[in-house]
Amino acid sequence: MPAKPDLIRDNALWHYDVDIAPARAAELAAEVAVLNVAVRKEAAARLAFDSDPWSLTAFLARWMR
């Protein structure tokens, strides 16, 4: 599911009291979509349907170091 600019704006306002301009929210939505594709691609290469649910979290923690 692609990120929606309105959802990004609503969450920024609700959680951080930050009003993001619609154009910037659209840019952020595009960036989130690219990141989602990259994470899904890496996860698919390393995880199977029956993998331990914490495997992705552990992988991301190691990768972020």
For residue 21, pLDDT beyond 70: yes
> Of residues 41 and 60, which shows the higher confidence score?
41
Average pLDDT over residues 54-58: 75
**How many domains, the chain?**
1
How far is it, in rounded angstroms, from Cα 25 to Cα 15? 15
Residue 47 scores a pLDDT above 80: no
Residue 18, domain extent = 5-64
So what's the pLDDT on residue 1?
Answer: 65
User: Residue 50's pLDDT is what?
Assistant: 74
From residue 51, how far is each of 3, 43, 60, 65 by CA, in Å? 26, 11, 15, 23
Average pLDDT over residues 33-40: 91
CA distance between the termini of the chain? 28
Q: What is the pLDDT of residue 30?
A: 94
Question: For residues 43 and 33, what is the distance between their CA atoms, to the nearest angstrom?
Answer: 15
